[in-house]
Amino acid sequence: MATYTATQALALAVGGRVLGIRWTPGRTVAALTLAAGTHAIADRRRPLQRLAEAVGNGPFYRLGAPRAGHDDNPSIGTGAYALDAAWHHAWETAAALILATGH
């Protein structure tokens, strides 16, 4: 998680410099904390699986997963992958809004 957050911080520093944007320290820390925390939750897999089950999307989460007792994957992607990507995009958008509202 440290390298993920450090890479984002570096991207913000370089991007801000190139674009002439001065991020406020408090908003930068808040955005990076939100991004890192939600990334850590998603990478544990079980929280997203439980969330999908709770809102009735368990079948979608399991879409494309290998069948029990088989080492196969009948699709090129899985529901778990799609939900993971959507989770990350949503929280990265929230983190970007935290930064953007400081200007």
Write out pLDDT tens, residues 79-93.
888 888 999 999 999
> What is the pLDDT, as a whole number, of residue 34?
94
Predicted model pTM? 0.74
Say which amino acid occupies 83: L
Q: Is the pLDDT of residue 63 over 90?
A: no
Domain span at residue 96 reads 2-67+76-100
Give the long-range contacts of residues 33-42, CB within 8 A, separation 24 or more: 34/91, 34/94, 34/95, 34/98, 35/5, 35/8, 35/91, 35/92, 35/95, 36/1, 36/4, 36/5, 36/8, 38/87, 38/88, 38/91, 39/1, 39/4, 39/88, 39/91, 40/1, 42/84, 42/87, 42/88
29 or 74: which leads in pLDDT:
29
Q: Count the domains in the chain.
A: 1
Q: Is the pLDDT of residue 57 over 70?
A: yes
Q: What is the mean pLDDT of the chain?
A: 87
